[in-house]
Amino acid sequence: MARVAIVTGGTRGIGAAISKALKAAGYTVAANYAGNDEAAKAFAEETGIAVFKWDVSSYESCKEGIARVESDLGPVDVLVNNAGITRDAMFHKMTPDQWKAVIDTNLSGLFNMTHPVWTGMRDRKFGRVINISSINGQKGQAGQANYSAAKAGDLGFTKALAQEGARAGITVNAICPGYIGTEMVRAIDEKVLNERIIPQIPVGRLGEPEEIARCVLFLAGEEAGFITGATITANGGQYFA
């Protein structure tokens, strides 16, 4: 029977590429999304992947959503914590709401999603938890104190939980993408993209969502059982952790 994978934020951008790659590799995929019903419907129709709506910043919503997935598809073996938001502002202008929204989704969301599936993974002696962090969680970024703090926290969460899961056959790893050619990044002014962003990337281009998806596929596989607590840095050489 195919292993079941949940991808949060799984209907757009990097998450969509991950969902598609997992399905192509034979996983049964549940793609979570938070708010864009139109995009989720189009994604489901295009791919045949089941979509489920809930907000990862709410623990109760995650518990209920995961229960629906497991009722429909079976126990969750692979969890990809990809959902994330930005509320950028220079720190002296950042509001408590901007701080809290990003921490609640990008950091607490990992607890909210992983905690409900952890016991089942321990009982079955198999699990793969893959957390999508960011280059800005490694090096920081002006105007993103909230985002950088959350994404750095994701890495601490990964390393601590990896130690707890190891003896139960559960691996916990992180991926830190750099600038990836998603719809959001490609919407940046072309001059800014070509003159300020791409010149910082030694390989001379944006990454592709599919390149991050291939990292996920590797970490999700049976053959990656000796790799845990690791961070894959996928940023074209822009930053070395």
Q: Which residues are catalytic?
A: 147
Q: State the DSSP code for 52.
A: E
Other C-beta atoms closer than 10 Å to the C-beta of 25 total: 16
User: What amino acid occupies position 126?
Assistant: F
Q: How far is residue 198's CA from residue 139's CA, in Å, rounded to a whole number?
A: 17
- What is the token pair recorded at 65? 């959503």
Nearest in space to 81 (alpha carbons), one of 237, 220, 234, 239: 220
Cβ atoms of 22 and 5 closer than 8 Å? yes
Nearest in space to 7 (alpha carbons), one of 32, 40, 43: 32
Cβ atoms of 56 and 83 closer than 8 Å? yes
**76-81 and 28-33 beta bridge pairing:** unpaired
C-alpha torsion 174→15→203→206, nearest 10: -140
